Structure 1
Amino acid sequence: MELSYQEKLTLIKLNEVKKAGFKDLVDRIGLDQVAVMRAVLGLQAKGLAKLHERSEKVAVLTETGRKYAEIGLPEWRALKVLKEKGKATLEDLSSVLNEDELKPIVGLLRREGWVNVGKEEGRLVLEITEKGLSAGERPIDRALRLLAERKIVPLSEIEKLVPVKELKRRKIAEEDTVTERLVEITPAGEELVKRGIELKREVSVLTPELIKSGKWREVEFRKFDIKAPVRRVYPGKKQPYRAFLDKIRRRLIEMGFIEMTVDSLIETQFWNFDALFQPQNHPAREWTDTYQLKYPKSGHLPAEELVARVKAAHEHGGDTGSRGWGYVWSPERAMLLMPRAHGTALDARQLAGGVEIPGKYFTIQRVFRPDVLDRTHLIEFNQIDGFVVGEDLTFRHLLGILKRFAVEIAGAKKVKFLPDYYPFTEPSVQMSAYHPELGWVEFGGAGIFREEMTKALGIDAPVIAWGIGIDRLAMFKLGIDDIRYLFSYDLRWLREAKLVW
């Protein structure tokens, strides 16, 4: 039977006493606690020793209890003043009690029957009673003395004097659990020691010094049991959802996409709706579907030339041949401020600011929408928006990009597309993927930007675009069935969540 140096030493020392408390065994061996515990567990696995553990609930003296043991409980200090004066006000007692002790003192003294309480000249007066004059040691005093002597007392012993909840209420003691460990050698362990154990220095690393000096012949090399139980270690790592977003961003950049960034979460309705050719009377612009800022209420519009083109597109279609929406466009409505409702607002900003043709752009942004919180909905969530602009793009290109997102990035097995409607795309499509727990889950919408939008923003080429709920993609990749878990404080999930590709 192969034993490590620590196991041999532990077995020899344990054989001297046959049975010992773990702390006593540590002192006897002279190694640190971790090394001794590892040796004991190794010996137990080999049938040479037994480790017995017994847990017991105890009362532990607090700092407040220690102070009371030195200067006396508040009621005894108050009673001392009353014995000297016969009567005392709360002001008189404040010389021996602090503010926290003074508040409950009247109730304490009355409950013991040590005082009568009355009023004189509008002030509360305490008068000592015969019972107060002859007061002697109580169970709580004996419990405090016992705690002061031993610091830790078994609950079964302390509750013979006073309920532990009373000591906890008065902050004299706290309840805790202690585990006592006892190590015992087995007959097999005794027999092995009797046959003789040779102790040789054990090393885990073959150093140049050992080779040069020849001492490697005199030592034993430690053998490691890779199946031995060890404490689980949770190394520092990124929050799983944060890591997922970073890898999505890196994958898109590797695919040649350019990231669109913005500093503020607040947007004007011009960029969030008007620049996207969404009419000002559309129900999605009302308080039931979007948040609005109370203060400041309005922002600023961009360059007049751009605003004029957007206005013309809304009112009569601009130079696209469209009839537009046929209403009088309001710049005041367009200036209203709101938390961004979708990342597509950044598409409009990027297109208006100029793009490469052909070009690919994306953004991952936090967006806000009034909704009912449940397993698949949040009111504050992340969205990945993007577009590709090029002279020869078709709807088939868009479907191919969307499917690649769902299958390669989210890991979805089944994907389907349904016709949809958005004011700023034509044709439009909704993408859904199958989740094993939730069934078919809608990821987002996509389409080809309408000319009324792109031409007003200065672009004269087809633009395919999409807006996808990246949180729902993460649900697939991280294997969860509740979207709220992405922002969870559950340490177990944060520690054990699987790494994403």
Structure 2
Amino acid sequence: MAEEAILGYLENNEGIADSGNFAAEFGLNHDEIVNVVKSLNGYGLVVAQDLKKERWVLTDEGKLYAVTGSPELQLFLAIPLEGISLDELQKKVDPSVFKIGFAQAMKNRWLERGKLVARKVQHVDDNVKELLLRIQAGEIVGQEDIDALKRRKLIVPQTWKGYSVRKGPNYAPKRKKAGTDLTRENLQRGDWKDLELKEYNFNAKGLPPEGGHLHPLLKVRQQFKMIFLQMGFEEMPTNNFVESSFWNFDALFQPQQHPARDSHDTF
């Protein structure tokens, strides 16, 4: 679906300026568009250029306020016209709403505090919720408002990645599937003349060979060697002379006819 949409669009247009806008216009998933563009670019059907955009997205707290309203508005609406004591107000609203909302409402001069906490104004606008909804919809918001929301950790920056796309040297309205093997049947039928074979990528890296591992006995020998060296023993230069079998076998109480005395089995 995405591939047909891209190739079909390029057939009648010079290019796609923004893959994100293209996906939104045709109701397609942008991740699917990105995968198809990468594949088509690899076959030379299109030429893709990277696009990067910084945008703001709502945090979990910001998403909550976009639905329920800002804490300062929730607190303001919880205060009756005749006023309410601070203790009663704390019991009436959620602790997190009271902590943030009371400070912000006082900062906005919505409230006055005496023996009772009362409304200083009768009507307020929830600018925070409005700004959050605008950002969620992808609208442009002033830098001053962005800074204010960022300080309250209601929004965070996010890097958006997409592509601009134009026709490639091998462009065709429909991708022709390339063959991977030349079979006997192709030769017998003669269709090998028109068969498009997939190009080999000689620069592709293969799986690294698994080699160079220590033999299990050599690994154990190294472990024992390190234990003795750490205990203070010194390694003898046994590679410089031939040791008597007395020390290697008899001193270890090994039987005379033991198979381990064979030169091939001596470790």
TM-score, normalised with respect to structure 2: 0.62
Q: Deviations over 1:85-143 (max 9, x none)?
A: 42242443443x4222222333212111112234x5xxxx42221xx3243353x3431
Structure 1 residue 72: Cα displacement: 1.1
1:176 corresponds to: 158
Contiguous gaps of at least 5 residues in structure 2:
242-250, 252-267
Q: Deviations over 1:308-333 (max 9, x none)?
A: xxxxxxxxxxxxxxxxxxxxxxxxxx
- Distance change (3 Å), C-alpha of 1:32 and 1:116: closer
Q: Distance in 1 between matches of 2:67 and 2:188?
A: 62
Q: Deviations over 1:406-429 (max 9, x none)?
A: xxxxxxxxxxxxxxxxxxxxxxxx
For residue 223 of structure 1, what is the amino acid of its counterpart? E
Q: Is the 8 A contact 1:363 1:385 kept in 2?
A: no
1:144 corresponds to: 132
Structure 1 residue 49: Cα displacement: 5.1
**Partner-residue secondary structure (3-state), 1:203:** coil
Kindly report which structure 2 residues correspond to 1:334-373, keeping only aligned pairs within 5 A, or say none.
Answer: 362-364=225-227
Q: Is the 8 A contact 2:75 2:102 kept in 1?
A: no
For residue 126 of structure 1, what is the amino acid of its counterpart? V
Q: Distance in 1 between matches of 2:40 and 2:203?
A: 15
Q: Is the 8 A contact 2:37 2:46 kept in 1?
A: no
1:36 corresponds to: 37
1:287 corresponds to: none
1:56 corresponds to: 53
2:245 corresponds to: none
Structure 1 residue 173: Cα displacement: 1.7
- Tell me which of 112, 130, 141 is aligned to 1:158: 141
Q: Deviations over 1:216-273 (max 9, x none)?
A: 7575321123337xxx9999x9xxxxxx9x84975465xxx4854xxxxxxxxxxxxx
Q: Distance in 2 between matches of 1:227 and 1:258?
A: 39
For residue 128 of structure 1, what is the amino acid of its counterpart? R
- Distance change (3 Å), C-alpha of 1:61 and 1:213: farther
Q: Distance in 1 between matches of 2:207 and 2:98?
A: 48
Q: Is the 8 A contact 1:90 1:102 kept in 2?
A: no
2:199 corresponds to: 223
- Is 1:133 paired with 2:144? no
- Tell me which of 180, 200, 210 is aligned to 1:204: 180
Contiguous gaps of at least 5 residues in structure 1:
1-6, 238-243, 261-361, 366-381, 389-394, 402-458, 460-501
Q: Indicate the percent of aligned positions where both proteins have the same amino acid.
A: 15
Q: Distance in 2 between matches of 1:234 and 1:174?
A: 40
For residue 158 of structure 1, what is the amino acid of its counterpart? V
Q: Is the 8 A contact 2:111 2:119 kept in 1?
A: yes
Q: Distance in 1 between matches of 2:88 and 2:183?
A: 76
- Distance change (3 Å), C-alpha of 1:137 and 1:63: closer
Q: Is the 8 A contact 1:59 1:158 kept in 2?
A: no
**Partner-residue secondary structure (3-state), 1:158:** coil
- Distance change (3 Å), C-alpha of 1:227 and 1:387: same
Structure 1 residue 167: Cα displacement: 1.8
**Partner-residue secondary structure (3-state), 2:166:** strand
- Is 1:110 paired with 2:106? yes
Q: Distance in 2 between matches of 1:175 and 1:214?
A: 59
1:77 corresponds to: 74
Kindly report which structure 2 residues correspond to 1:79-478, keeping only aligned pairs within 5 A, or say none.
Answer: 79-95=76-92, 97-118=93-114, 120=115, 125-129=116-120, 132-138=121-127, 140-148=128-136, 150=137, 152-153=138-139, 157-160=140-143, 162-164=145-147, 166-185=148-167, 189=169, 200-205=176-181, 217=192, 219-227=195-203, 247=214, 251=218, 257=221, 260=224, 362-364=225-227, 397=237
- Tell me which of 12, 19, 25 is aligned to 1:16: 12
For residue 118 of structure 2, what is the amino acid of its counterpart? E
2:64 corresponds to: 67
**Partner-residue secondary structure (3-state), 2:55:** strand
Question: Which structure features the higher share of strand residues?
Answer: 1
TM-score, normalised with respect to structure 1: 0.36
Q: Deviations over 1:438-457 (max 9, x none)?
A: xxxxxxxxxxxxxxxxxxxx
- Distance change (3 Å), C-alpha of 1:70 and 1:10: closer
Q: Is the 8 A contact 2:14 2:166 kept in 1?
A: yes
For residue 55 of structure 2, what is the amino acid of its counterpart? V
Q: Is the 8 A contact 1:204 1:222 kept in 2?
A: yes
Q: Distance in 2 between matches of 1:179 and 1:199?
A: 25
Q: Distance in 2 between matches of 1:384 and 1:206?
A: 66
Whose RCO is larger (CA < 8 A, sep 6+)? 2
Q: Deviations over 1:147-179 (max 9, x none)?
A: 34x1x45xxx32345033x32343422211213
**Partner-residue secondary structure (3-state), 2:62:** helix
For residue 96 of structure 2, what is the amino acid of its counterpart? D
Q: Distance in 2 between matches of 1:250 and 1:50?
A: 56
Give the alignment's Cα RMSD to 1 decimal. 4.9
Q: Is the 8 A contact 1:167 1:174 kept in 2?
A: no
Q: Distance in 1 between matches of 2:58 and 2:7?
A: 37
